[in-house]
Amino acid sequence: MIALFIAAALAAQSQPTEPAWTWTLYDDAVPVVLANEVPDTARLRATLECDPGTSVARLTLYGGAAMAGMARVTAGEASSVAEAAAAPAGASKFALRTDHPVFAAFTVDGRMTIAVGDQRRPVEVPAAHLAKLRRFAELCSG
């Protein structure tokens, strides 16, 4: 019995751990960037970028199939449309107004969904990182 316990403990130690994904706000340069990333790597799930005061956020989603065409963006009870453009390496790009009710709803609970045809991509900012999202919106708004 003790041998099984020791073997299980050794196996657990040898398992590689999944790196921690986080949201990081880079507000000391232009453009301002809020990134869903594994720090100190090139691994990204999403980035929000803006030039301060422009009220326009550029969202890039990484991974999955690239989305192109008219997108339906929803957050809370609000919805809007945005043009989705395919980007290199399977990324998808969107432009969103930070003063639109969809973005305002996104800053409340950190949940937004983007759909193009049958493709749906959620963007979720956990509660612990909502202050970063709100600061991003504040810096971007004109």
How confident is the model over 122-137, as pLDDT tens digits? Answer: 999 999 999 999 999 9
Q: Examine the pLDDT at 23 and tell me if it is beyond 60.
A: yes
How far is 94 from 68, CA to CA, in rounded Å?
A: 9
Q: Examine the pLDDT at 10 and tell me if it is beyond 50.
A: no
- Candidates 113, 133, 111; CA nearest to 124 is 111
Q: Which two tokens stand for residue 54?
A: 């422009």
User: Region 14-40: what's the mean pLDDT?
Assistant: 87
Question: Within a 13 Å sphere around the CA of 51, how many CA atoms are in the beta-carbon half?
Answer: 1
Tell how far CA 28 is from the center of its chain: 19
Helix axes 101-109, 130-140, angle to 10 degrees: 150
Q: Compute the mean pLDDT over every residue in the chain, rounded to the nearest whole number.
A: 90
- Tokens 């999202």 found at: 133
How confident is the model over 37-83, as pLDDT tens digits? Answer: 999 899 999 999 999 999 999 999 999 889 999 999 999 999 999 99
Q: Examine the pLDDT at 8 and tell me if it is beyond 90.
A: no
How far is 57 from 25, CA to CA, in rounded Å?
A: 14
CA 73 to each of CA 102, 121, 123: distance values in angstroms, whole numbers, following the listed order = 7, 10, 10
Lowest mean pLDDT among 6-10, 74-78, 107-111: 6-10
17 or 27, which is more confident?
A: 27
Q: Which pTM was predicted?
A: 0.85
Residue 7's pLDDT band (boundaries 50, 70, 90)?
A: very low
Helix (H, G, I), strand (E, B) or coil at 70: strand
128: DSSP letter: G
